Structure 1
Protein backbone atom coordinates (compact mmCIF):
# COMPACT_ATOMS: atom_id res chain seq x y z
CA UNK A 1 0.00 0.00 0.00
CA UNK A 2 1.22 3.48 -0.87
CA UNK A 3 0.97 5.48 2.33
CA UNK A 4 0.05 9.16 2.19
CA UNK A 5 1.75 10.79 5.16
CA UNK A 6 0.10 13.71 6.86
CA UNK A 7 2.37 16.67 7.44
CA UNK A 8 2.99 15.62 10.12
CA UNK A 9 1.01 12.36 10.18
CA UNK A 10 -1.63 11.42 12.71
CA UNK A 11 0.48 8.82 14.46
CA UNK A 12 3.80 10.61 14.98
CA UNK A 13 2.93 14.29 15.19
CA UNK A 14 3.41 14.68 18.95
CA UNK A 15 5.97 14.18 21.65
CA UNK A 16 4.82 14.09 25.24
CA UNK A 17 4.63 17.81 26.02
CA UNK A 18 1.51 19.87 25.40
CA UNK A 19 3.65 22.84 24.36
CA UNK A 20 5.03 20.92 21.39
CA UNK A 21 1.67 20.16 19.76
CA UNK A 22 1.64 21.51 16.21
CA UNK A 23 -0.91 24.04 15.02
CA UNK A 24 -4.44 22.84 14.29
CA UNK A 25 -5.17 21.54 10.80
CA UNK A 26 -8.23 21.10 8.61
CA UNK A 27 -9.96 17.74 8.22
CA UNK A 28 -12.45 17.89 5.33
CA UNK A 29 -15.50 15.61 5.16
CA UNK A 30 -17.18 14.92 1.83
CA UNK A 31 -20.67 16.09 0.87
CA UNK A 32 -23.33 13.46 1.65
CA UNK A 33 -23.70 12.55 -2.03
CA UNK A 34 -21.22 12.27 -4.87
CA UNK A 35 -21.77 13.58 -8.38
CA UNK A 36 -19.52 13.58 -11.46
CA UNK A 37 -18.65 17.25 -11.07
CA UNK A 38 -17.27 16.85 -7.56
CA UNK A 39 -13.62 16.12 -8.48
CA UNK A 40 -13.22 19.59 -10.00
CA UNK A 41 -14.88 21.20 -6.99
CA UNK A 42 -12.55 19.24 -4.73
CA UNK A 43 -9.48 20.36 -6.66
CA UNK A 44 -10.53 23.99 -6.36
CA UNK A 45 -11.07 23.55 -2.62
CA UNK A 46 -7.65 21.94 -2.15
CA UNK A 47 -6.04 24.71 -4.17
CA UNK A 48 -7.49 27.25 -1.74
CA UNK A 49 -5.67 26.14 1.39
CA UNK A 50 -3.99 23.26 3.20
CA UNK A 51 -6.08 20.24 4.15
CA UNK A 52 -4.63 17.38 6.18
CA UNK A 53 -7.24 14.70 5.58
CA UNK A 54 -10.41 14.02 3.60
CA UNK A 55 -13.10 11.68 4.86
CA UNK A 56 -15.25 9.94 2.26
CA UNK A 57 -18.64 9.82 3.96
CA UNK A 58 -21.44 8.66 1.66
CA UNK A 59 -24.22 7.41 3.92
CA UNK A 60 -26.67 5.20 2.08
CA UNK A 61 -24.47 4.74 -0.97
CA UNK A 62 -23.83 1.29 -2.36
CA UNK A 63 -20.43 -0.35 -2.12
CA UNK A 64 -20.00 0.16 -5.85
CA UNK A 65 -20.75 3.89 -5.53
CA UNK A 66 -18.28 4.27 -2.66
CA UNK A 67 -15.60 2.41 -4.59
CA UNK A 68 -16.22 4.48 -7.71
CA UNK A 69 -16.02 7.76 -5.81
CA UNK A 70 -13.00 6.67 -3.81
CA UNK A 71 -11.14 5.51 -6.91
CA UNK A 72 -11.67 8.89 -8.59
CA UNK A 73 -10.75 11.14 -5.68
CA UNK A 74 -7.86 9.06 -4.32
CA UNK A 75 -5.29 10.25 -6.90
CA UNK A 76 -6.50 13.84 -6.51
CA UNK A 77 -5.91 13.68 -2.76
CA UNK A 78 -2.53 12.04 -3.29
CA UNK A 79 -1.46 14.91 -5.52
CA UNK A 80 -2.15 17.32 -2.65
CA UNK A 81 -0.67 15.04 0.07
CA UNK A 82 -4.09 14.71 1.68
CA UNK A 83 -4.92 11.48 3.53
CA UNK A 84 -7.98 9.55 2.37
CA UNK A 85 -10.14 8.39 5.30
CA UNK A 86 -13.17 6.14 4.71
CA UNK A 87 -16.16 6.55 7.02
CA UNK A 88 -17.57 3.55 8.91
CA UNK A 89 -16.22 0.79 6.67
CA UNK A 90 -12.86 -0.87 7.43
CA UNK A 91 -13.54 -3.37 4.63
CA UNK A 92 -13.96 -0.57 2.07
CA UNK A 93 -10.90 1.21 3.43
CA UNK A 94 -8.91 -1.97 2.83
CA UNK A 95 -10.30 -2.44 -0.68
CA UNK A 96 -9.53 1.17 -1.60
CA UNK A 97 -6.11 1.00 0.08
CA UNK A 98 -7.11 4.15 1.92
CA UNK A 99 -4.92 5.86 4.49
CA UNK A 100 -7.44 5.46 7.27
CA UNK A 101 -10.92 4.65 8.50
CA UNK A 102 -13.20 6.61 10.81
CA UNK A 103 -15.45 4.57 13.08
CA UNK A 104 -18.62 5.55 14.86
CA UNK A 105 -19.43 3.88 18.15
CA UNK A 106 -21.70 1.43 16.29
CA UNK A 107 -19.21 0.57 13.54
CA UNK A 108 -17.00 -1.98 15.26
CA UNK A 109 -14.08 -1.36 17.55
CA UNK A 110 -10.52 -0.25 17.01
CA UNK A 111 -8.99 -3.67 17.68
CA UNK A 112 -11.13 -5.36 15.03
CA UNK A 113 -10.30 -2.67 12.47
CA UNK A 114 -6.61 -2.91 13.34
CA UNK A 115 -6.62 -6.67 12.83
CA UNK A 116 -8.07 -6.16 9.35
CA UNK A 117 -6.08 -3.11 8.26
CA UNK A 118 -2.73 -3.43 10.01
CA UNK A 119 -0.69 -0.74 11.71
CA UNK A 120 0.06 1.42 8.66
CA UNK A 121 -3.56 2.57 8.40
CA UNK A 122 -4.87 5.36 10.62
CA UNK A 123 -7.94 4.53 12.74
CA UNK A 124 -10.09 7.24 14.26
CA UNK A 125 -13.21 6.89 16.37
CA UNK A 126 -16.07 9.13 17.44
CA UNK A 127 -16.25 9.62 21.21
CA UNK A 128 -19.10 12.19 21.35
CA UNK A 129 -18.79 14.02 24.68
CA UNK A 130 -17.42 11.05 26.64
CA UNK A 131 -14.08 11.08 28.42
CA UNK A 132 -14.56 7.40 29.14
CA UNK A 133 -14.97 6.50 25.46
CA UNK A 134 -11.92 8.60 24.58
CA UNK A 135 -9.79 6.86 27.19
CA UNK A 136 -11.04 3.50 25.99
CA UNK A 137 -10.25 4.33 22.36
CA UNK A 138 -6.77 5.44 23.32
CA UNK A 139 -6.16 2.20 25.21
CA UNK A 140 -7.32 0.21 22.17
CA UNK A 141 -4.78 1.98 19.97
CA UNK A 142 -6.81 4.59 18.09
CA UNK A 143 -4.69 7.02 16.07
CA UNK A 144 -7.10 9.89 16.73
CA UNK A 145 -10.35 10.49 18.56
CA UNK A 146 -13.21 12.83 17.64
CA UNK A 147 -15.42 14.87 19.96
CA UNK A 148 -18.69 16.51 18.94
CA UNK A 149 -21.05 17.85 17.91
CA UNK A 150 -19.88 21.20 19.26
CA UNK A 151 -22.49 23.22 17.36
CA UNK A 152 -25.79 22.66 15.60
CA UNK A 153 -25.36 20.82 12.32
CA UNK A 154 -27.61 19.68 9.52
CA UNK A 155 -25.08 17.09 8.33
CA UNK A 156 -26.27 14.43 10.79
CA UNK A 157 -28.60 14.05 13.75
CA UNK A 158 -26.76 14.70 17.00
CA UNK A 159 -27.62 14.26 20.66
CA UNK A 160 -24.24 15.00 22.24
CA UNK A 161 -22.95 18.52 22.87
CA UNK A 162 -19.51 18.55 24.53
CA UNK A 163 -18.02 21.63 26.11
CA UNK A 164 -14.83 22.82 24.36
CA UNK A 165 -12.94 22.20 27.60
CA UNK A 166 -12.93 18.49 26.77
CA UNK A 167 -10.39 19.28 24.05
CA UNK A 168 -8.06 20.90 26.54
CA UNK A 169 -8.50 18.03 28.97
CA UNK A 170 -7.57 15.52 26.29
CA UNK A 171 -4.53 17.46 25.09
CA UNK A 172 -3.12 17.53 28.63
CA UNK A 173 -3.38 13.79 29.20
CA UNK A 174 -2.75 12.25 25.78
CA UNK A 175 -0.44 12.57 22.80
CA UNK A 176 -3.18 11.15 20.53
CA UNK A 177 -4.67 13.87 18.30
CA UNK A 178 -8.23 15.01 18.85
CA UNK A 179 -10.67 16.14 16.19
CA UNK A 180 -13.45 18.64 16.83
CA UNK A 181 -16.55 18.06 14.74
CA UNK A 182 -20.07 19.36 14.28
CA UNK A 183 -21.35 22.62 12.81
CA UNK A 184 -17.91 24.21 12.67
CA UNK A 185 -17.51 27.36 10.56
CA UNK A 186 -14.75 29.94 10.18
CA UNK A 187 -16.83 32.19 12.44
CA UNK A 188 -17.18 29.80 15.39
CA UNK A 189 -14.03 27.68 15.17
CA UNK A 190 -11.61 29.88 17.14
CA UNK A 191 -12.72 28.71 20.62
CA UNK A 192 -12.20 25.09 19.58
CA UNK A 193 -8.70 25.80 18.27
CA UNK A 194 -7.83 27.71 21.41
CA UNK A 195 -9.26 24.93 23.59
CA UNK A 196 -6.90 22.37 22.08
CA UNK A 197 -8.37 20.85 18.90
CA UNK A 198 -5.67 19.32 16.72
CA UNK A 199 -8.02 19.05 13.74
CA UNK A 200 -11.23 20.79 12.71
CA UNK A 201 -13.57 18.44 10.87
CA UNK A 202 -15.75 20.43 8.50
CA UNK A 203 -18.33 19.57 5.89
CA UNK A 204 -21.51 21.64 5.51
CA UNK A 205 -19.74 24.94 6.08
CA UNK A 206 -17.60 24.23 3.04
CA UNK A 207 -19.92 22.49 0.59
CA UNK A 208 -22.94 24.68 1.39
CA UNK A 209 -20.96 27.90 1.25
CA UNK A 210 -23.03 30.60 -0.44
CA UNK A 211 -20.07 31.85 -2.50
CA UNK A 212 -18.04 28.71 -3.19
CA UNK A 213 -16.29 25.95 -1.24
CA UNK A 214 -12.84 27.33 -2.04
CA UNK A 215 -13.71 30.65 -0.38
CA UNK A 216 -14.64 28.82 2.82
CA UNK A 217 -11.40 26.81 2.75
CA UNK A 218 -9.47 30.08 2.39
CA UNK A 219 -11.33 31.50 5.39
CA UNK A 220 -10.42 28.45 7.47
CA UNK A 221 -6.79 28.67 6.31
CA UNK A 222 -6.61 32.33 7.35
CA UNK A 223 -8.11 31.52 10.74
CA UNK A 224 -5.76 28.60 11.39
CA UNK A 225 -2.75 30.67 10.39
CA UNK A 226 -3.88 33.51 12.68
CA UNK A 227 -4.43 31.24 15.69
CA UNK A 228 -1.11 29.46 15.09
CA UNK A 229 0.70 32.77 15.39
CA UNK A 230 -0.69 33.48 18.86
Structure 2
Protein backbone atom coordinates (compact mmCIF):
# COMPACT_ATOMS: atom_id res chain seq x y z
CA UNK A 1 0.00 0.00 0.00
CA UNK A 2 1.52 3.40 -0.97
CA UNK A 3 2.36 5.78 1.89
CA UNK A 4 -0.01 8.55 2.90
CA UNK A 5 1.31 11.74 1.32
CA UNK A 6 -0.88 14.26 3.07
CA UNK A 7 -1.30 15.99 6.38
CA UNK A 8 1.36 17.74 8.43
CA UNK A 9 4.86 17.57 6.93
CA UNK A 10 7.51 18.82 9.37
CA UNK A 11 10.88 19.97 8.03
CA UNK A 12 13.73 20.08 10.53
CA UNK A 13 15.63 23.26 11.34
CA UNK A 14 19.27 23.28 10.28
CA UNK A 15 21.23 22.82 13.52
CA UNK A 16 24.35 21.15 14.89
CA UNK A 17 22.67 20.71 18.29
CA UNK A 18 21.54 17.10 18.01
CA UNK A 19 20.07 16.94 21.51
CA UNK A 20 17.82 19.94 20.88
CA UNK A 21 16.87 18.66 17.43
CA UNK A 22 15.82 15.25 18.73
CA UNK A 23 13.91 16.82 21.60
CA UNK A 24 11.98 19.14 19.31
CA UNK A 25 11.14 16.42 16.80
CA UNK A 26 10.07 14.04 19.59
CA UNK A 27 7.67 16.74 20.81
CA UNK A 28 5.94 17.11 17.44
CA UNK A 29 6.18 13.47 16.28
CA UNK A 30 2.78 12.38 17.66
CA UNK A 31 1.08 15.04 15.53
CA UNK A 32 2.91 14.84 12.18
CA UNK A 33 2.56 12.54 9.17
CA UNK A 34 5.89 13.18 7.42
CA UNK A 35 9.30 14.41 8.58
CA UNK A 36 11.98 15.76 6.28
CA UNK A 37 15.52 15.91 7.62
CA UNK A 38 17.15 19.04 6.21
CA UNK A 39 20.72 19.98 7.17
CA UNK A 40 23.14 21.77 4.85
CA UNK A 41 26.17 21.15 7.11
CA UNK A 42 29.40 19.96 5.49
CA UNK A 43 29.84 17.60 8.46
CA UNK A 44 28.82 14.26 6.97
CA UNK A 45 29.28 12.39 10.27
CA UNK A 46 26.94 14.78 12.06
CA UNK A 47 24.30 14.49 9.36
CA UNK A 48 24.50 10.68 9.44
CA UNK A 49 24.20 10.64 13.24
CA UNK A 50 21.20 12.98 13.23
CA UNK A 51 19.48 11.25 10.33
CA UNK A 52 19.83 7.80 11.90
CA UNK A 53 18.37 9.02 15.18
CA UNK A 54 15.48 10.74 13.40
CA UNK A 55 14.80 7.70 11.22
CA UNK A 56 14.50 5.57 14.35
CA UNK A 57 12.19 8.11 15.99
CA UNK A 58 9.98 8.23 12.90
CA UNK A 59 9.72 4.45 12.75
CA UNK A 60 8.57 4.37 16.37
CA UNK A 61 5.85 6.94 15.66
CA UNK A 62 4.75 5.67 12.24
CA UNK A 63 5.96 8.86 10.55
CA UNK A 64 7.23 8.85 6.97
CA UNK A 65 10.93 9.82 6.96
CA UNK A 66 12.34 11.83 4.04
CA UNK A 67 15.91 13.10 3.56
CA UNK A 68 16.47 16.44 1.85
CA UNK A 69 18.85 16.45 -1.12
CA UNK A 70 21.07 13.51 -0.18
CA UNK A 71 20.20 10.24 -1.92
CA UNK A 72 23.08 8.32 -0.34
CA UNK A 73 22.13 9.49 3.15
CA UNK A 74 18.62 8.23 2.47
CA UNK A 75 20.08 4.83 1.54
CA UNK A 76 22.34 4.74 4.61
CA UNK A 77 19.50 5.48 7.02
CA UNK A 78 16.79 3.37 5.42
CA UNK A 79 14.72 6.48 4.80
CA UNK A 80 11.37 6.21 3.05
CA UNK A 81 12.61 8.58 0.38
CA UNK A 82 14.25 11.82 -0.62
CA UNK A 83 13.23 15.36 -1.50
CA UNK A 84 15.00 17.01 -4.43
CA UNK A 85 15.39 20.65 -5.43
CA UNK A 86 16.56 22.22 -8.66
CA UNK A 87 20.26 21.79 -7.84
CA UNK A 88 20.07 18.24 -6.51
CA UNK A 89 20.38 14.81 -8.14
CA UNK A 90 18.21 14.07 -11.16
CA UNK A 91 14.92 12.49 -10.21
CA UNK A 92 15.48 9.58 -12.59
CA UNK A 93 18.88 8.84 -11.02
CA UNK A 94 17.38 8.98 -7.52
CA UNK A 95 14.64 6.58 -8.58
CA UNK A 96 17.18 4.10 -9.93
CA UNK A 97 19.20 4.26 -6.71
CA UNK A 98 16.28 4.13 -4.26
CA UNK A 99 13.91 1.82 -6.09
CA UNK A 100 10.33 1.90 -7.25
CA UNK A 101 8.82 2.00 -3.75
CA UNK A 102 10.75 5.07 -2.57
CA UNK A 103 9.00 8.38 -2.01
CA UNK A 104 10.66 11.05 -4.14
CA UNK A 105 9.47 14.63 -3.81
CA UNK A 106 10.32 17.50 -6.10
CA UNK A 107 10.48 21.21 -5.36
CA UNK A 108 8.60 23.02 -8.12
CA UNK A 109 8.79 26.54 -6.62
CA UNK A 110 6.25 28.64 -8.53
CA UNK A 111 6.37 26.66 -11.79
CA UNK A 112 3.53 24.52 -13.11
CA UNK A 113 5.75 23.41 -15.99
CA UNK A 114 8.43 22.21 -13.58
CA UNK A 115 5.73 20.26 -11.73
CA UNK A 116 4.57 18.67 -14.96
CA UNK A 117 8.11 17.56 -15.81
CA UNK A 118 8.61 16.17 -12.30
CA UNK A 119 5.45 14.09 -12.48
CA UNK A 120 6.43 12.79 -15.90
CA UNK A 121 9.82 11.79 -14.46
CA UNK A 122 8.12 9.82 -11.69
CA UNK A 123 7.91 12.17 -8.70
CA UNK A 124 5.83 10.81 -5.84
CA UNK A 125 4.72 14.32 -4.89
CA UNK A 126 5.30 17.90 -5.99
CA UNK A 127 5.92 20.89 -3.73
CA UNK A 128 5.08 24.54 -4.39
CA UNK A 129 6.37 27.49 -2.40
CA UNK A 130 6.92 29.83 -0.85
CA UNK A 131 3.16 30.23 -0.56
CA UNK A 132 3.68 33.01 2.01
CA UNK A 133 6.77 35.06 2.91
CA UNK A 134 9.19 32.80 4.74
CA UNK A 135 11.77 33.64 7.39
CA UNK A 136 13.64 30.45 6.47
CA UNK A 137 14.04 31.49 2.82
CA UNK A 138 13.25 35.21 2.65
CA UNK A 139 14.39 35.50 -0.98
CA UNK A 140 12.17 32.67 -2.26
CA UNK A 141 9.75 33.51 -5.06
CA UNK A 142 6.12 33.48 -3.97
CA UNK A 143 4.00 30.66 -5.38
CA UNK A 144 0.36 31.69 -5.85
CA UNK A 145 -2.19 29.44 -4.20
CA UNK A 146 -3.93 29.14 -7.57
CA UNK A 147 -1.14 26.72 -8.57
CA UNK A 148 -2.75 23.97 -6.53
CA UNK A 149 -5.98 23.99 -8.52
CA UNK A 150 -4.03 24.23 -11.77
CA UNK A 151 -1.77 21.30 -10.85
CA UNK A 152 -4.52 18.98 -9.60
CA UNK A 153 -4.87 17.47 -13.08
CA UNK A 154 -1.27 16.24 -12.89
CA UNK A 155 -2.48 13.58 -10.48
CA UNK A 156 0.32 13.82 -7.88
CA UNK A 157 -0.05 14.74 -4.21
CA UNK A 158 0.81 18.42 -3.65
CA UNK A 159 2.78 19.92 -0.78
CA UNK A 160 2.73 23.60 0.17
CA UNK A 161 5.70 25.21 1.89
CA UNK A 162 6.68 28.69 3.02
CA UNK A 163 5.40 30.82 5.86
CA UNK A 164 2.65 28.39 6.88
CA UNK A 165 1.26 28.52 10.41
CA UNK A 166 -2.00 27.73 12.18
CA UNK A 167 -3.42 31.10 11.14
CA UNK A 168 -3.16 30.54 7.39
CA UNK A 169 -3.13 26.73 7.14
CA UNK A 170 -6.84 26.51 6.34
CA UNK A 171 -6.43 28.89 3.42
CA UNK A 172 -3.69 26.71 1.91
CA UNK A 173 -5.65 23.49 2.39
CA UNK A 174 -8.77 25.01 0.83
CA UNK A 175 -6.65 25.99 -2.17
CA UNK A 176 -5.97 22.30 -2.73
CA UNK A 177 -2.72 21.41 -0.98
CA UNK A 178 -2.59 17.84 0.31
CA UNK A 179 0.16 18.45 2.85
CA UNK A 180 1.56 21.41 4.74
CA UNK A 181 5.37 21.54 4.96
CA UNK A 182 6.32 23.62 7.99
CA UNK A 183 9.66 24.64 9.51
CA UNK A 184 9.44 27.91 11.46
CA UNK A 185 5.71 27.51 12.13
CA UNK A 186 6.69 24.53 14.27
CA UNK A 187 10.29 24.74 15.41
CA UNK A 188 10.55 28.51 15.86
CA UNK A 189 7.52 28.52 18.15
CA UNK A 190 7.90 28.59 21.96
CA UNK A 191 5.88 25.36 22.15
CA UNK A 192 6.43 23.22 19.02
CA UNK A 193 4.08 20.50 20.27
CA UNK A 194 1.19 22.95 20.67
CA UNK A 195 1.87 24.40 17.20
CA UNK A 196 1.91 20.88 15.76
CA UNK A 197 -1.41 20.06 17.40
CA UNK A 198 -3.02 23.18 15.91
CA UNK A 199 -1.69 22.47 12.43
CA UNK A 200 -2.65 18.81 12.63
CA UNK A 201 -6.17 19.81 13.62
CA UNK A 202 -6.37 22.14 10.60
CA UNK A 203 -5.39 19.19 8.39
CA UNK A 204 -8.01 16.95 10.00
CA UNK A 205 -10.72 19.56 9.52
CA UNK A 206 -9.79 19.70 5.82
CA UNK A 207 -9.90 15.91 5.51
CA UNK A 208 -6.14 15.54 5.21
TM-score range, shorter chain: over 0.9
Distance 1:158 1:204 in 2: 15
- The superposition leaves residues 89-139 of structure 1 with CA deviations (integer Å, 9 ceiling, x where unpaired) of 111111112101000111022101111111121111100110110000000
Compute the TM-score of the two structures, normalised by the length of structure 1: 0.85
Distance 1:54 1:166 in 2: 24
- Residue 85 of structure 1 corresponds to which residue in structure 2? 66
**Aligned to 2:14, which of 22, 32, 35?**
32
Distance 2:42 2:61 in 1: 26
Q: SS at the partner of 2:206?
A: helix
Q: SS at the partner of 1:135?
A: helix
Distance 2:100 2:204 in 1: 32
**Aligned to 1:204, which of 175, 179, 184?**
184
Contact kept, 8 Å, 1:45 with 1:214, in 2: the verdict is: yes
Please state if 1:227 is matched with 2:206: yes
Q: Tell me the CA shift for residue 157 of structure 1.
A: 4.2
Distance 2:24 2:128 in 1: 28
Contact kept, 8 Å, 2:110 with 2:143, in 1: the verdict is: yes
**Aligned to 1:115, which of 90, 96, 102?**
96
Q: SS at the partner of 2:105?
A: strand
Q: Tell me the CA shift for residue 52 of structure 1.
A: 1.5
Q: Tell me the CA shift for residue 34 of structure 1.
A: 4.1
- Residue 174 of structure 1 corresponds to which residue in structure 2? 154
Q: Tell me the CA shift for residue 38 of structure 1.
A: 2.6
**What value does the CA root-mean-square deviation take over the aligned residues?**
1.7
Gaps of 5+ in 1: 11-23
Q: Tell me the CA shift for residue 154 of structure 1.
A: 1.5
Contact kept, 8 Å, 1:194 with 1:227, in 2: the verdict is: yes
Tell which deviates more after alignment, 96-105 or 217-226: 217-226
Please state if 1:187 is matched with 2:167: yes
Runs of 4+ in structure 1 over 3 Å off: none
Q: Tell me the CA shift for residue 141 of structure 1.
A: 0.4
Contact kept, 8 Å, 2:24 with 2:187, in 1: the verdict is: no
| Count, aligned residues | 207
- The superposition leaves residues 189-215 of structure 1 with CA deviations (integer Å, 9 ceiling, x where unpaired) of 2111001101100011111113x1001
Contact kept, 8 Å, 2:186 with 2:195, in 1: the verdict is: yes
Q: Tell me the CA shift for residue 63 of structure 1.
A: 1.3
Q: Tell me the CA shift for residue 228 of structure 1.
A: 2.7
Distance 2:81 2:139 in 1: 24
Q: Tell me the CA shift for residue 73 of structure 1.
A: 1.5
Contact kept, 8 Å, 2:105 with 2:123, in 1: the verdict is: yes
